[in-house]
């Protein structure tokens, strides 16, 4: 790591990481038995070969609890050390109470406040930013930021344009006060004029549940893939350039770039425009698909396990998703 202007965001670091994925693997070949698709189409257009699917008795909070327990154990922390639980998700257990409230109760974080954060697939980056702000302001010391999704329940399994892209999983980090400040800079963005390109239209106050909304499959994810594709490749590049410039860091200084895992073509196009070499870029969507808010922490865990991300490395993370939202974060990896 070289040339970083330290302390853009003062006093916060990622102090622990834990992840959980369901055991059930759903391959492209298996999908093609019930859907007019093929492994060849899915793999060549998206890079995805398989994804995990939660058990029928598992909701997002159950996946989040597993990831949170693993993060606490990895960080040598007890549940009562946690001041705040933030769950970033687009597939909460229910509208209310917050999934974070359920998670805090299940892990025994009885001292902690809890809330959900909805920023599409960018939720994990938004959660990191919120936690960093709380910690840097001296309001809280230890914050659990969890990205957890059971997207398999929000997909129309008859719609080949969406259901092949997503999977279930969870990842958790603890953001902790630190003397040095491992997190350098953030960029968060939003363009609500693109809201209709990626949404789950019914069930809210705009379109409450009726027999008709169910018949029209409006309780499932709807997406205009080509619009999201164009948006994603543009905003990743702009957002990453901004956080790098803010911290006076160049692409060459970045040891690992972890983008949201939606489509390998989006990742490769953005990485190329930014000027990254392929060995600087991490992806694992071939075996998890797009797990929305869980995708970045799932990558971090795998990168650490594989020796691709080490203490002292400069890490750039970038996300995008429904909203339309985007965000990126530059940090020194400190685990
Ligand atoms: C969804 C996505 C993979 C589609 O790829 P694409 O190359 O743009 O494909 P198109 O949408 O142009 O569809 C091309 C054809 O493939 C078909 N097709 C779509 N999904 C298919 C599937 N799973 N299997 C086989 N054919 C499929 C379409 O019906 C279309 O056929 P038609 O021309 O006869 O109508 C791509 O647009 C994408 O990744 N977008 C971003 C999505 C995303 O990241 N969402 C999450 C954001 S967090």
- CATH number for the domain harbouring residue 165: 3.40.47.10
User: Residues, the chain, total?
Assistant: 335
| One domain, residues 151 and 264 | no
Other Cβ atoms less than 10 A from the Cβ of 205: the count is: 6
- Nearest CA to 233 out of 272, 203, 201 is that of 272
Domain residue limits at 278: 184-332
Specify whether 244 is located in the same domain as 307: yes
CA distances from 281 to 169, 227, 275, 300, 314 (A): 21, 24, 11, 12, 12
For residue 2, is it within any domain? no
Report the C-alpha gap between 139 and 117 in whole angstroms: 19
Q: Is the pTM higher than 0.95?
A: yes
Q: Are 239 and 186 in contact (CB under 8 A)?
A: no
Q: Verify that 195 and 171 share a domain, yes or no.
A: no
Residues 158 and 24 in one domain: yes
Question: According to the model, what pLDDT value does residue 10 have?
Answer: 67
Active site residue 260: yes
Closest C-alpha to ligand 1, atom 42: 225
Site to probe by mutation for ligand 1, drawn from 44, 45, 119, 125 as the one with most ligand atoms within 8 Å of Cβ, is 45
- 194 by Cβ neighbours in 10 Å (0-12 / 13-18 / 19+) ranks as middle
Angle, CA of 330, 245 and 134, to the nearest 5°: 40
Residue 69 belongs to some domain of the structure? yes
- Give the whole-angstrom CA distance, residue 223 versus residue 159: 10
Mark whether 324 and 198 lie in a shared domain: yes
Task: Please check whether residue 6 lies inside any domain of the structure.
Answer: no
Neighbours of 189 (CB within 10 A): 16
pLDDT tens per residue, the chain (335 residues)?
333 444 456 689 999 999 999 999 999 999 999 999 999 999 999 999 999 999 999 999 999 999 999 999 999 999 999 999 999 999 999 999 999 999 999 999 999 999 999 999 999 999 999 999 999 999 999 999 999 999 999 999 999 999 999 999 999 999 999 987 688 899 999 999 999 999 999 999 999 999 999 999 999 999 999 999 999 999 999 999 999 999 999 999 999 999 999 999 999 999 999 999 999 999 999 999 999 999 999 999 999 999 999 999 999 999 999 999 999 999 999 99
Is 146 found in the same domain as 70? Answer: yes
Q: Is 121 designated active site?
A: yes
Is the C-alpha dihedral spanning 198, 330, 83, 74 positive or negative? positive
Looking at 181, 214, 249, the residue that finishes a domain is 181
Residue 86 pairs in a beta bridge with: 115, 145
User: Which of 140, 163, 181 lies at the terminal end of a domain, its last residue?
Assistant: 181
Q: Which atom of ligand 1 is nearest to the CA of 166?
A: 46
Residue 255 lies in a domain: yes
Residue 72 lies inside a defined structural domain of this protein = yes
d(CA 67, CA 316): 22
Domain-located, residue 7: no
The reply to whether 240 belongs to the active site is no
Is there a single domain that holds both residue 315 and residue 166? Answer: no
Q: Which of 132, 147, 181 is the last residue of a domain?
A: 181
Q: Which of 290, 293, 299, 329 is catalytic?
A: 290
Residues 151, 70 within the same domain: yes
Instruction: Report how far residue 134's alpha carbon sits from residue 81's, in angstroms, rounded to the nearest whole number.
Output: 15
165 and 49, same domain (yes or no): yes
CA 85 to chain CA centroid, Å, is 16
Kindly state whether residues 176 and 64 are assigned to the same domain.
Answer: yes
CA 109 to chain centre: 22
**Mutational test site, ligand 1, from 194, 263, 266, 288, max ligand atoms within 8 Å of CB:** 263
Is residue 3 in a domain?
Answer: no
Q: Which residues line ligand 1 (CB under 6 A)?
A: 37, 41-42, 45-46, 121, 160-161, 164, 198, 223, 225-226, 228-229, 232, 262-263, 290, 321
Give me the catalytic one of 260, 284, 293, 299.
260
Q: Which atom of ligand 1 is nearest to the CA of 162?
A: 1
Q: Is residue 1 part of a domain?
A: no
Q: How far is the CA of 299 from the centre of ligand 1 (A)?
A: 24
* Residue 184: predicted pLDDT: 83
CB atoms within 10 A of CB 278: 9
Q: Please tell me the distance from the alpha carbon of residue 333 to that of residue 335, in angstroms, as a whole number.
A: 6
Q: How many domains does the chain have?
A: 2
From CA 306, how far away is CA 123, in angstroms rounded?
25
Do 75 and 63 lie in one domain? The reply is: yes
Residues 64, 140, single domain; the answer is yes
Crossing angle of helices 123-136/295-305, nearest 10°? 80
């Amino acid at each position: 790591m070289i040339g970083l202007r330290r302390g853009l965001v003062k006093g916060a670091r990622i102090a622990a990481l834990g992840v959980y994925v369901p055991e059930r693997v759903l391959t492209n070949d298996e999908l093609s038995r019930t859907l007019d698709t093929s492994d060849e189409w899915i793999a060549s257009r998206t890079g995805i070969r398989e994804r995990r699917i939660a058990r029928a008795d598992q909701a997002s909070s159950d996946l989040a609890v597993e990831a949170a327990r693993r993060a606490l154990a990895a960080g040598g922390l007890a549940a009562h050390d946690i001041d705040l639980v933030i769950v970033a998700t687009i597939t909460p257990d229910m509208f209310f109470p917050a999934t974070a409230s359920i998670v805090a109760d299940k892990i025994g974080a009885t001292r902690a406040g809890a809330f959900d954060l909805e920023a599409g697939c960018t939720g994990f980056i938004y959660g990191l930013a919120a936690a960093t702000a709380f910690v840097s302001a001296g309001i809280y010391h230890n914050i659990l930021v969890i990205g957890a999704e059971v997207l398999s329940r929000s997909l129309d399994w008859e719609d080949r344009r969406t259901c092949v892209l997503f999977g279930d999983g969870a990842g958790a980090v603890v953001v902790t006060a630190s003397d040095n400040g491992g997190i350098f800079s953030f960029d968060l963005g939003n363009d609500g004029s693109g809201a209709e390109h990626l949404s789950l239209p019914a069930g809210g106050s705009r379109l409450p549940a009726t027999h008709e909304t169910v018949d029209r499959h409006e309780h499932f994810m709807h997406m205009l893939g080509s619009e999201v594709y164009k948006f994603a490749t543009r905003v990743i590049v702009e957002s990453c350039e901004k956080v790098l410039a803010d911290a006076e860091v160049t692409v060459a200084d970045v040891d690992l770039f972890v983008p949201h895992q939606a489509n390998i073509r989006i990742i490769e196009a953005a990485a190329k425009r930014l000027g990254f070499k392929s060995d600087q870029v991490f992806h694992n969507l071939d075996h998890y698909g797009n797990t929305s808010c869980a995708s970045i922490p799932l990558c971090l865990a795998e990168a650490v396990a594989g020796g691709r991300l080490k203490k002292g490395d400069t890490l750039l993370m970038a996300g995008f998703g429904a909203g339309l939202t985007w965000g990126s974060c530059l940090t020194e990896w400190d685990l």
